Amino acid sequence: MKLLMKICLSVVITTLIISCNTDSDDKSIQETTIVDSTGEVVATKGQPSRLISLGPSNTEILFALGAGDMVVGVDDFSDHPSETKTVAKVGAPFPSFDLERIVSLKPDLVVSTELAEFNATLKGLTIPVYVSNPKNIEEVIKTIDDIGHLVGLHDNATTLNSQIRSRMSAVKSLTSDIVPTTVFYEVDASDPTRPYTVGGPSFVNDIINMSGGMNIFQDVDIAYPQVGLEDVVARNPSVILLANAYAPMNPQSVETAAARPGWNSITAVKNNSIIPVNPDLFSRPGPRLIEGIEYLAKLLHPNLFLNSES
């Protein structure tokens, strides 16, 4: 009888140990949930190790977080940092990404942009998708934080965001009391009589304002409005930034912009202040936006930075 009781007790203890170990293992595979830019809940179990980025800014965020070795695929336009050259390319959003290639890479998380139909297809294949579409600088910082959470590098995200905020504060401390310089930012001029610019809802507008500038179309409630040449003349910017100077199609030069009908009366044209700029520092809502802020602040107000290490 005593032997039977000992055997039963041993079985109970063994069962409890196995149960505890199983519970411990289950808890170690933690589920991380984040709400993305579309309001959808994104869930990942455990530590993602195979990431695909569908957007240059997302790619830059992942590498800046230290997740570069987890990235197994990127879109064709992701070209920074240089390590992306050796990462598998999965196409471009138009006409469509290479779905077969993406699936073959076996991602456990895709960091995408607002491509509703394609993202829905990925989700239908049970691939977790985080959609990034920040509309201002604060949302860029939140996106970095979100992605850091999802890939298990939240401490890195906190550090990166702290560095960005510190550098922004340094610029703001220099430009807060100055009269803003009026700026026209040209995104595209495929139709040079109706160029595209940035309005109030664009994070580029935030960059201009934080740099000690004033976007002349900040009152327009469209992120990327198309405007007439006479509208630019009427608002008379002191500086014109050509973000399309290096565009693969319909690039604009200082000379072609200055020669547009009526633009010879604009202050920026009169003062030879039409300036080609690298659009990647302004158009990609990622960690390099602080470089865009610092670059533009020095461009608009060079005297403020003579005794600064910023």
CATH code of residue 284: 3.40.50.1980
Residues 138 and 226 in one domain: no
Going by pLDDT thresholds of 50, 70 and 90, the confidence category of residue 7 is very low
Of the pLDDT bands very low, low, confident and very high (cuts 50, 70, 90), residue 120 is: very high
Q: How many domains does the chain have?
A: 2
pLDDT at 29: 58
* 17, part of any domain: no
Question: Has residue 6 got a pLDDT over 60?
Answer: no
| Domain assignment of residue 54, yes or no | yes
Compute how many other C-beta atoms are within 10 angstroms of the C-beta atom of residue 220.
19
In a domain? residue 23: no
Domain that holds residue 59: 36-160
Residue that terminates a domain, selected from 94, 125, 160: 160
In a domain, 80, yes or no: yes
140 and 101 within one domain: yes
Confidence band, pLDDT 50/70/90 cuts, at residue 308: low
Domain-located, residue 14:
no
Higher pLDDT, 96 or 72: 72
Q: What is the dihedral of CA 134, 135, 136, 140, to 10 degrees?
A: 10
One domain for residues 152 and 46: yes
- Averaged pLDDT, 282-310: 90
Determine, yes or no, domain membership for 31: no
Average pLDDT for the chain: 90
Report the percentage of the chain scoring pLDDT > 70: 89
Name 46's Cβ contacts closer than 8 Å, sequence gap at least 6: 29, 30
pTM of the predicted model, to two decimals? 0.87
Distance CA 251, CA 244 (A): 6
Mean pLDDT, range 79-85, rounded to an integer: 97
- 202-243 per-position pLDDT tens digit: 999 999 999 999 999 999 999 999 999 999 999 999 999 999
> Taking 90 as the threshold, does the pLDDT of residue 2 lie above it?
no
The strand pair at 31-35 and 41-45 is best described as antiparallel
